[in-house]
């Protein structure tokens, strides 16, 4: 199993540009989570899906952030327009039932 696959690993973009982060969960996992990690705020849950349906998006910071899961094997997190304060490491994780998550390696986003 290749694990949770995130792309790109690194992204540098200019303020105001659209950024799309991608995630492929582990096959057979039915829940998918997007987290953001910063020094100041630690790990924050942005949104999670169960069976491709968004269950809780209360952590999404503002309307500039959106996430989709069109099928069981793919999810995107989009930021439009991006701002410097969005700079962080974004993690995707997947799980089956209540047995803990498997995390991807993360996308390090830098907005200049």
Partner 1 sequence: AQSVTQLGSHVSVSEGALVLLRCNYSSSVPPYLFWYVQYPNQGLQLLLKYTSAATLVKGINGFEAEFKKSETSFHLTKPSAHMSDAAEYFCAVQGGSEKLVFGKGTKLTVNP
Which one, 15 or 55, has the nearer CB to partner 1?
55
Distances in Å between the Cα of 76 and the Cα atoms of 10, 57, 109 are 15, 14, 14
Show the site string, 32-71: x = touches partner 1 by CB under 8 A, - = not: -x--------xx-x--x-x----xx---------------
d(CA 10, CA 82): 15
Q: Name the token pair of 92.
A: 């995707």
Enumerate binding residues for partner 1 (CB under 8 A): 4, 31, 33, 42-43, 45, 48, 50, 55-56, 91, 93, 95, 98-106
């Amino acid at each position: 199993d290749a694990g949770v696959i995130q792309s790109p690993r690194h992204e540098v973009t200019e303020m105001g540009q659209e950024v799309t982060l991608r995630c492929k969960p582990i096959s057979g996992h039915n829940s998918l989570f997007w987290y953001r990690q910063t020094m100041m705020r630690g790990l924050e849950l942005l949104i999670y899906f169960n069976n491709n349906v968004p269950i809780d998006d209360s952590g999404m910071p503002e309307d500039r952030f959106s996430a989709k899961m069109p099928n069981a094997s793919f999810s995107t997190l989009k930021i439009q327009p991006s701002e410097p304060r969005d700079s962080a490491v974004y993690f995707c994780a997947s799980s089956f039932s209540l047995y803990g998550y498997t995390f991807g390696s993360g996308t390090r986003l830098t907005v200049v």
